[in-house]
């Protein structure tokens, strides 16, 4: 099992990741808001600005303060 560091000591299982996207676009902001309303959002930004959205196969949305290219290069 391989884990990816999503910032500030938080790790997620790489095999569960469906996509990694930038938070800047309106659809990603909408997806994050809907996930928060459904209780499926996991905020690991530790109070910093959200820069990427990670979608898992369990439909959880993880909000990270790291840029998407940093997350994908860490594999």
User: How many domains does one find in the chain?
Assistant: 1
Say if pTM beats, i.e. exceeds, 0.85. Answer: yes
Altogether, the residues listed in the chain come to a count of 75
Task: Check residue 48 and give its pLDDT.
Answer: 97
3-state helix vs strand vs coil in the chain, percent to 5: 30, 35, 35
Give CA angle at 59 (58, 64), nearest 5°: 105
Domain that holds residue 53: 3-73
For the chain, residues with pLDDT lower than 50 are none
In whole angstroms, give the CA distance from residue 4 to residue 11.
5
The dihedral through the CA atoms of 7, 67, 2, 16 has a sign that is positive
């Amino acid at each position: 099992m391989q884990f990816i560091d999503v910032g500030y000591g938080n790790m997620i299982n790489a095999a569960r990741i469906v996509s990694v996207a930038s938070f800047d676009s309106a659809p990603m902001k909408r997806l994050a808001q809907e996930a928060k309303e459904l209780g499926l959002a996991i905020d690991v930004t530790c109070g910093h600005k959200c820069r990427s959205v990670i979608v898992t196969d369990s439909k959880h949305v993880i909000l990270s303060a790291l840029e998407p290219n940093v997350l994908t290069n860490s594999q």
